[in-house]
Amino acid sequence: EAGVAQSPRYKIIEKRQSVAFWCNPISGHATLYWYQQILGQGPKLLIQFQNNGVVDDSQLPKDRFSAERLKGVDSTLKIQPAKLEDSAVYLCASSLIPWGGGYNEQFFGPGTRLTVL
């Protein structure tokens, strides 16, 4: 079974530029998550989708970050314009079914390492 795919793996941009990341979750997984992991910190949830609807975007800096999951499968995360403090690894994860009862394991992709100069 293929895992969560992300691209690009690495990206270097200058501040004030725009950047987009792509995620393809595991086939059949209804829930998709985007996390930001700054060096020396744990992953922080930015946004969670249930199919193509947003469930939780309370920690997404909406003035510069946006995300979409138009057909309930692939997702893109965009930063416009980027700031120096956006340098981080952006992780995408997916899980099979919505939260309810027991834990639904989140499977993570390898991440995209963003460097903003």
Partner 1 sequence: DQQVKQNSPSLSVQEGRISILNCDYTNSMFDYFLWYKKYPAEGPTFLISISSIKDKNEDGRFTVFLNKSAKHLSLHIVPSQPGDSAVYFCAASARETSGSRLTFGEGTQLTVNP
Q: Which is nearer to partner 1, 22 or 108 (CB)?
A: 108
Smallest separation, CB 109 to partner 1 (Å) = 5
Residue at token pair 């981080």: 88
Return the half-sphere exposure (C-beta side, CA atoms, 13 A cut-off) of residue 49. Answer: 26
Q: Is 25 in the site for partner 1 (CB under 8 A)?
A: no
Distance between CA 19 and CA 113 in Å, rounded?
Answer: 12
Helix, strand, coil percent content, the chain, rounded in steps of 5: 5, 50, 50
Q: Which is nearer to partner 1, 16 or 52 (CB)?
A: 52
Q: Is 98 in the site for partner 1 (CB under 8 A)?
A: yes
Which one of residues 29, 43, 49, 86 is an interface residue with partner 1 (CB under 8 A)? 43
